[in-house]
Amino acid sequence: MNKDKSSYKKINGKNYRKNVGIVVFNSDKKVLFCKRLNSKIGSWQFPQGGIDVGETEDVAALRELAEETGITSAQIVYSDKNWYKYDFPEEVRKSKKYYEDVNGQIQKWFLVKFTGNDDEIKIPSEEFEDYKWTDLSLTLVNEVISFKQEVYKEVITKFLKVLKDI
């Protein structure tokens, strides 16, 4: 995690780490859903990660996608104009030293088309232990850790409409 404060946004007196979320879809319009490494609860999610100081959101999205999944054959097809935020529960903030000075994350979400072959995907990785291609559906929210579920509901609802028109 980049500790430089310019990678944070202050909202109502709280610090939020700037972050990108990436919904990747393939030629069958299935989305990549990844199982977090060593997670005990709500262990599935879309790739996501921090925005480095001086980095644009779209560059961060493609960098994080490559770092977390190995995917480099990708094209951004949609960037949500909204920012979504969630707070970390206190037990999460206490469990990870680098979350001590941040209350949560504020995210810009991207819809990305995967143009490569599955052998490009490098999971397990430092973040994930498994992945699956699945239909984009609100039922995926049930597999996500509880404090991210509201953001996932909003993003999935919006991206279902966008994906249908692609």
Question: Averaged over 133-144, what is the pLDDT?
Answer: 97
Give the other-Cβ count within 10 Å of 130's Cβ: 13
CA atoms of 30 and 110, how far apart (whole Å): 15
The pTM of the full predicted model, rounded to 2 decimals, is 0.92
What does the pLDDT look like over 37-86, one tens digit per residue? Answer: 877 666 899 999 999 999 999 999 999 999 999 999 999 999 999 999 99
Cβ atoms of residues 108 and 79 within 8 Å: yes
Residue 133 has pLDDT above 60, yes or no: yes
